[in-house]
């Protein structure tokens, strides 16, 4: 049924676009531009239909999940809500609150996707002991955020695809706990992705 609705909306939008083009008066400049554009081979501009996207809803729903969670964890780490968790974590890792807060503010600006977020989590052999401690603290705070604060964040933030963020919450938790396995968020099979987003 939705495919039929999509076809109908596309046809209606195409008819409206044609009517708008036909109703506009043509000037000499417009005629010259149309002649020049026809002469240029290989430079075709794709016509866009207002209010319609060719990207599937499943792809748009999961596009920024990792980035959103990463930035939310960084924001949580420097907030007052994290202080009860942070005091114990910083004491275990021998870190000061000032150093960790500066590190979180830097990381928040750097997280732009899955690979950036994974690099913040992944502990490499050449990392200094201080950086390893900061990463371990970030992982512990990330686990606390997803377990206890993520639902509240999803429903009270500007996140548009709330259902998708809820669905992938525990996947994010597992990937934070095992960052070396964090190479993807969703499976490549379209069937499993669409099944996971059906409610």
The per-residue pLDDT for 145 is: 94
Please indicate, yes or no, if residue 21 is contained in any of the structural domains: yes
Check pLDDT > 70 for residue 33: no
Q: Is there a single domain that holds both residue 88 and residue 159? A: yes
| Domain enclosing residue 43, as ranges | 8-52
Q: Residue 82 gets which letter from DSSP?
A: G
Q: What tokens were used for 170?
A: 């525990």
Q: What tokens were used for 18?
A: 């044609």
Q: Is there a single domain that holds both residue 71 and residue 33? A: no
- pLDDT tens-place string over residues 115-141: 888 888 888 889 899 999 999 999 999
Q: Is there a single domain that holds both residue 26 and residue 46? A: yes
Q: Is there a single domain that holds both residue 168 and residue 75? A: yes
Q: pTM of the entire structure? A: 0.64
Q: What Å distances lie between residue 187 and 46, 62, 156, 178, CA to CA?
A: 30, 11, 28, 17
Q: What tokens were used for 182?
A: 């964090």
| Residue 62 near residue 108, CB atoms below 8 Å | no
Instruction: Give the gyration radius of the chain's Cα atoms.
Output: 24
Total Cβ atoms within 10 A of residue 58: 18
Please indicate, yes or no, if residue 3 is contained in any of the structural domains: no
């Amino acid at each position: 049924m939705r495919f039929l609705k999509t076809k109908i909306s596309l046809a209606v939008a195409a008819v409206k676009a044609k009517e708008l083009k036909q109703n506009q008066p043509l000037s000499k400049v417009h005629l010259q531009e149309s002649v020049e554009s026809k002469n240029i081979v290989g430079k075709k501009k794709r016509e866009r239909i207002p209010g319609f996207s060719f990207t599937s809803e499943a792809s748009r729903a999961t596009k920024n999940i990792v980035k959103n969670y990463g930035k939310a964890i960084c924001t949580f780490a420097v907030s007052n809500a994290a202080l009860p968790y942070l005091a114990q974590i910083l004491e275990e890792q021998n870190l000061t609150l000032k150093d960790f807060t500066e590190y979180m503010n830097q990381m928040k600006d750097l997280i732009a996707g899955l690979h950036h977020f994974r690099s913040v989590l992944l502990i490499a052999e050449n990392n200094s002991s201080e950086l390893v401690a900061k990463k371990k603290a970030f992982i512990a705070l990330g686990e606390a955020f997803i377990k206890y604060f993520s639902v509240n964040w999803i429903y009270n933030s500007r996140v548009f695809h709330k259902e998708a963020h809820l669905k992938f919450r525990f996947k994010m938790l597992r990937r934070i706990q095992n960052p070396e396995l964090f190479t993807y968020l969703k499976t490549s099979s379209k069937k499993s992705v669409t099944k996971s987003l059906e409610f």
